[in-house]
Amino acid sequence: MNSTLARYLSIYAALWKNSVVREMGFKVNFILWIFVELLWFALQISFMTVIYSHTEHIASWSKWEVILLLGVSHLIQQLFTALFLSNCTELSEYIRTGKLDFMLLLPVNTRFIVSFRKVDLGSFVNGASALAVIIYAARQLHLSPSVAQVAGFAALIGVGVLVHYSLMIALASVSFWTVRAQGIVWGYYNLFNISRLPDAAFRGLFKAFFTFALPILLVSNVPAKVIVKPLDEPWKILLLAFMAALCFVFSEWVWRKSLRRYTSASS
């Protein structure tokens, strides 16, 4: 087991090295995308600031609590983008062009190489800006999270990324039937915006759907509450962990079922 883990870690290190070389070959594009994402993040914070100039609370959330939530949502989104987004969106191209044939022949797990082939380094920079906003908002709220809270927060950030990855790879696997599925994949990506708002602001079927069917509201709200409101609905931590495990198992089932349908581009 140790030798297998070491082998996969060395492969992933090689994929990182390749990504660095590729990104540095187009430095202007690399810097431009960082600037665009930072501008978009700043506009979201500005928009929320405008809203709070007319109200004291959204549901039970104050201005700086919601800005912290924005930072958490953006951090999860940028980590997911850095590690998985381009790989998930390109799956349909691998199927259409036949590149998946070569990946299937490699002596590694096919899902591993499809999921981790590229890394978006610029998104790590944007993730750092989100972390800076989280820290600043926490200072404005005079929060002093314990080591356990910080560790739980970090773990739940990872769980949130896992939820997005699992759902995205499951949706991307539709390409095995339709060949092109970018519309479905990017449609889900656009739903990330829902996670930027407090779950307490939603009611009824909408809240139930985005909590239990697509757990987008849980993904950012639960980590934020660990820092802001640790005693508010602690059962949601277990719910998020359960939904993450369920989403991953579902994505693996969809992936295996979809892969059996693949007949290669030459067939």
> What does the domain layout of the chain look like in residue ranges?
2-259
Confidence of residue 134 (pLDDT cuts 50, 70, 90): very high
Nearest Cα residue to 215 out of 162, 144, 137: 162
Token pair, residue 102, equals 């070569």
Higher pLDDT, 40 or 232: 40
CB 238 within 8 A of CB 152: no
Rounded Cα–Cα distance for residues 230 and 65 (Å): 13
1 or 97, which is more confident? Answer: 97
Handedness of CA 126, 111, 195, 153 (dihedral sign): negative
Give the three-class secondary structure for 155: helix
Residue 265 pLDDT grade (very low, low, confident, very high; cuts 50, 70, 90): low
Residue 193: pLDDT band (50, 70, 90) is confident
The Cα–Cα gap between 238 and 160 comes to 13
pLDDT, mean over the chain: 89
Which pLDDT band, with edges at 50, 70 and 90, does 55 fall under?
A: confident
Cβ partners under 8 Å of residue 124, min gap 6? 78, 79, 82
26 CB-near residues (< 8 Å, 6+ apart): none
Residue 168 vs residue 200, higher pLDDT = 168
pLDDT surpassing 70 at residue 1: no
Residue 170 has pLDDT above 60, yes or no: yes
**In Å, what is the CA distance from 85 to each residue of 32, 60, 136, 144, 261?**
18, 33, 28, 33, 23
Whether the CB-CB separation of 237 and 156 falls below 8 Å is answered with yes
pLDDT tens profile 76-108: 999 999 999 999 999 988 988 888 998 998 889
The string of pLDDT tens digits covering residues 18-39 is: 888 887 877 788 888 889 889 9
The pLDDT tens digits of the residues spanning 141-152 come to 999 999 999 999
